[in-house]
Chain A
Amino acid sequence: MTQVPDVYILGGYQTDFARNWSKEKKHFVAMMREAVLGALDKTKIEPGDIEVAHTGNFAAELYSKQGHLGAFFLEIDPAFSGLPTSRHEAACASGSLAIQAASAEIEAHRYDLACVVGVEQMKTVGAGEGGDFLGTAAWYELEAKGIEFPFPKLFGKLGDEYDKRYGLKDEHLAEISTINYANAKLNPNAQTRTWYMNYEHAMSRDEFNGSIGGRINISDCSQVTDGAVAVLLASPTYAKNWADRMGVPLESIPRIKGWGHNTARMLFEDKVAESAKAQYVLPHVRTTVTTAMKRAGIADVSGIDSIETHDCFTTSEYMAIDHFGLTAPGESWKAIESGDIALGGKTPINPSGGLIGAGHPVGATGVRQVLDSYKQVTGQAGDYQVEGAKNVQTLNIGGSGTTSVSFVIGN
């Protein structure tokens, strides 16, 4: 059997997540264009070098009444004429699946240079309608139809399940929110970088921080975001040539060292029923994380320097803490109280600000996580740099813990 080649990350580009592209009266292709041309500019790669393109997007059919997003690549540059393209969808994990597909093709020796772009334009509609669209990431008929903001309620239930099994305090969720917003202030592309937030506000309960679904308050939520992120993935052959051209050793270029990818049943109650006797509340998420580590040759989370996780709500980050193994199951609060997950702590989570602070353009999030991991391991994360980060792991989740994808990025 021939050896599976490594997949290298040459760089990428993120649009400023604070932008409102509907106010700019733009089509989402403008967003894709800025991200892809930005990635090419940053990596000094000619558009004609790209051999295949993958788009991650959740619901352009709903937000923009437009499908067939892969084909929009050809609107970006004339050099893309004839390029093989495709679009990938798995709710909020769409971006990671686009990366999975591109990686698999490089591993299969089909192509040497792939461009992956994650894109979502969400501000085309109001909050209520957008919340309903997001409900299609759950089993719509059973979990979302006719329900105002179904997802906060589903992730509120995740908190309830923790509470039932182990106990859960609002104070710890508020601290997760506080950290993500504080980190976002250091990230020049973060949507909330100029917003006001602190622990006191996250703990307040009035018209400015009301409940929108059980224990989930406004400060516990990720944002409605317009954004696109592109990364360039390369085979060892292309990466070697590129490294020579850039005058850097191949070893300095980050790789996707490991990946995990699992799916659980759609309904949240089925997931919880399945895990009733298990150690972890969402065992398939745990499997995704540990599989990625194993494939990367990393024994446990002590080999991970930082994490970019899917904090669509504070409860999902609370879940991630023990599922990554930072604490024993049900003891996520310990890593919060110790400061381990804060910037400067043992294993900073979401130095970028995550989905709560940096923003959550659904189909772009998985790609954004990988780009931020790339920035961390190459020392390009600026003010939110984790000192000496060598291995950074992502966790991208679609639905109520339904599709999970994790990558270990390192060099």
Chain B
Amino acid sequence: MLAATRAAAGGRSSDLLSSRSIKHVVVLGANGAMGLGSGALFTTAVPRVTFLARTKEKADGGLAAAVKMVRSSTVAKRVDTGSYEADFDRVVGEADLIFEAVTEQLPLKQEFFDRIDKARRPDSIVATVTSGLSINQLAEGRSDSFRKNFLGLHFFNPPNVIVGTELIAGKDTDPKLVDFLDEYCTKLLGRAMVRTADTPGFAGNRIGFQLLNECAILAEEHGPLLIDELVGPYTGRALTPLATIDLVGWDIHRAIVDNIYELAPDEAHETLKLPSYMADLMAKGVLGRKTGAGFFGKDDGGQRIVLDPKTQKYVPKSSISRPDLSFIDAIANLHRVGRYVDGMRAFAEATGPYAAIAQKVIAGYISYSFHRVGEVTDDISGIDSIMGNGFNWAPPSVLVDTIGLKATIQMIEKAGLPVPPALANAEEGTTFFDDPQVNVGKFFVAA
């Protein structure tokens, strides 16, 4: 290495980072989207990465996809591939970090952890990418050294693009390991780390899927097209809510909201109940984009079609008329020229039944987020970070600051939702978003 790169690397070292070393990562489930995406990320910083899958061919396929994600064939030189049958015990025994990304099923993951527990070195780290299963439950029955070195490391898909990452310690996880991995992922993997409690859906999915599921519920009465426009990019997101559910898959959506609904009854409990029309359609094989269509799709002729949840049939998009949504156009035009505060104040002041729907969802998102402080994260900044960096949505604090404190409280009250104490007790003029590095304007898309 020339002096140049050495100096740059040297500037990032710290005592914490030198407390452990990660020279070899084993990725389990390296042919799945999260496995290969996480593997791709590890190849950018770790000297050796092993991709393991049911067969070596599947692991090779994961590697090929990872190379395309990183856009460099050089990373392949640092990767070896193998199968669970032939290579598991050997490579897990060699690894500094064992990264579990197998299918999101508790018994399957437990089976893997049992095997890891037997094969691993006592000082190696075991991380799971689970998006919602309990870390403590996953650690049950494992050895002391396993539980001490086990935690959740929740990347969002695709990991090499979305930097927001949740770090979840179990009750027995070594606090020094949590500190180390936080620093390691921040400095060497370029992550925006958020520590969350071991609660269902952690922070990001708990809050994100509350909004998504509420939109799915509203779609039953109002139709997916209207709801996606009402809670569209102009409210502070790149991708519309129901298109997001189609993208992540209805099965994943269901697993996340069912888990939260069952294990975390909160003040928004009913908004986390999967609408029955979705369950009916899933029984018929509808899973979103991966099965060709969900809320949205294309017919055989390539024409855009939209689900009618009432009839559970698809209709041409062109047959659905757009009601008067001029308030959205006016707000989008303000965003387009960078007048985000004016835009979001106009949002809070908009009148009519459609504006009321949009205001209720956004008020719900803000109320629900602030009510989770102390439960899923220690403060609102953790929630802000994961909603901004993980979901690419305007963080709740950004919305409050942009709309204005008083107008936000009024909007929450008008929606019949509980006003979070943090807002109710704040003085007018208080600002909530505290990361000066983030250009908050980026969240308000002019559409």
A residues with a Cβ closer than 8 A to B are 15-16, 19, 23-27, 29-34, 75, 175, 178-179, 182-183, 185-186, 188, 193-194, 196, 198-201, 204, 206, 208-209, 336-339, 341-345, 383
Contacts and interface: CB of A to CB of B under 8 A. Distances in A.
B190 A194 contact: yes
Ranked 9 nearest A-B pairs via Cβ: A339-B3, A30-B338, A344-B7, A342-B4, A182-B8, A33-B338, A25-B446, A201-B72, A200-B74
B8 A204 contact: no
Contact of A342 (B3, B44, B160, B441): B3
Contacts of A34: 338, 439, 441
12 contacts: A16-B438, A26-B335, A26-B336, A33-B339, A182-B9, A185-B8, A200-B74, A339-B3, A341-B4, A342-B5, A345-B7, A383-B11
B437 interface: yes
A196 B44 contact: yes
Interface centre among B5, B338, B444 (most CB of A within 10 A): B338
B421 to A, nearest CB: 29
Interface in B350-370: none
Given A25-B446, A33-B337, 12 more contacts: A15-B439, A19-B439, A25-B332, A25-B335, A30-B336, A32-B338, A178-B5, A179-B8, A196-B71, A198-B5, A339-B7, A383-B12
Interface of B: 1-12, 44, 70-75, 160-161, 163, 190, 233, 238, 332, 335-339, 437-439, 441-442, 444-447
Contacts of A341: 4
A198 B1 CA distance: 10
B4 A208 contact: no
Contacts of B337: 26-27, 29-30, 33, 75
A93 to B, nearest CB: 26
A341 B10 CA distance: 15
B357 to A, nearest CB: 22
B338 A26 contact: yes
Nearest to B234: A25
Interface centre among B190, B233, B442, B446 (most CB of A within 10 A): B442
A337 B4 CA distance: 8
A199 B5 contact: yes
Contacts of A345: 3-4, 7
Contacts of B75: 196
Contacts of B1: 199
B8 A343 contact: yes
A204 B278 CA distance: 49
A334 to B, nearest CB: 12
B3 A338 contact: yes
A336 B8 CA distance: 14
Contacts of A200: 74
A396 B275 CA distance: 59
A204 B4 contact: no
Contacts of B163: 194
Nearest to A197: B72
Given A179-B5, A196-B71, A16 B336 contact: no
A208 B71 contact: yes
Contacts of B442: 16, 19, 24
Contact of A336 (B4, B9, B11, B444): B4
Contacts of B12: 186, 383
B8 A342 contact: yes
Contacts of A30: 335-338, 441
Interface centre among A186, A193, A344 (most CB of B within 10 A): A344
Contacts of B4: 175, 178-179, 182, 336, 339, 341-342, 345
Given A194-B163, A338-B3, A339-B3, A208 B73 contact: yes
Nearest to B10: A344
Contacts of B444: 24
A179 B7 CA distance: 10
B162 to A, nearest CB: 10
A293 B246 CA distance: 59
Nearest to A203: B74
B8 A183 contact: yes
Contacts of A188: 437
A27 B333 CA distance: 10
Contact of B445 (A24, A29, A179): A24
A176 to B, nearest CB: 9
Interface centre among B8, B339, B447 (most CB of A within 10 A): B8
Contacts of A26: 335-338, 446
A217 B74 CA distance: 15
B3 A208 contact: no
Contact of A23 (B6, B238, B439): B238
B74 A25 contact: no
A13 B52 CA distance: 46
A406 to B, nearest CB: 23
A25 B3 contact: no
A96 B389 CA distance: 34
Contacts of B233: 25
A77 to B, nearest CB: 11
A196 B439 contact: no
Contacts of B7: 339, 342-345
B440 to A, nearest CB: 9
A208 B190 contact: no
B174 to A, nearest CB: 28
B341 to A, nearest CB: 10
A309 B268 CA distance: 55
A209 B2 contact: no
Nearest to B43: A196
A194 B12 CA distance: 15
B336 A208 contact: no
Contacts of B238: 23
